[in-house]
Amino acid sequence: MLAWMDEEALRRTVTTGRATYWSRSRREYWVKGATSGHHQYVRSVALDCDGDALLVKVEQVGAACHTGTRTCFTDVIFEEKDQ
């Protein structure tokens, strides 16, 4: 899953242990699973070398994607074939 997280969302995520994101369309914070029941319990948060992206590893309960799938990345555009 890919989502927007600002400093406040990160603070809430680390403080509560629940993945919290900023919805740019709704202009509000949302905790993954608050309405769907598909929770993300945070196991670790890592910052990339440029300091502009986070990798949040979670225990996923239920679907991660709003389509009901475990991942949002189901449409493969390119995949190297085994040689």
For the domain 7-60, what is the CATH superfamily, name and number? Phosphoribosyl-AMP cyclohydrolase (3.10.20.810)
This prediction has a pTM of: 0.82
Count of all residues that appear for the chain in the document: 83
Query: Each residue's pLDDT tens digit in the chain (83 positions)?
Result: 889 999 999 999 999 999 999 999 999 999 999 988 999 999 999 999 999 999 999 999 999 988 889 888 999 999 998 87
Q: What is the dihedral of CA 64, 66, 67, 68, to 10 degrees?
A: 50
The pLDDT tens digits for 20-40 are: 999 999 999 999 999 889 999
Report pLDDT for 66.
85
Report pLDDT for 28.
96
Beta bridge partners of 60: 40
What residue spans define the domains of the chain?
A: 7-60
Beta bridge partners of 31: 20
Helix (H) or strand (E) holding 45: strand 40-47
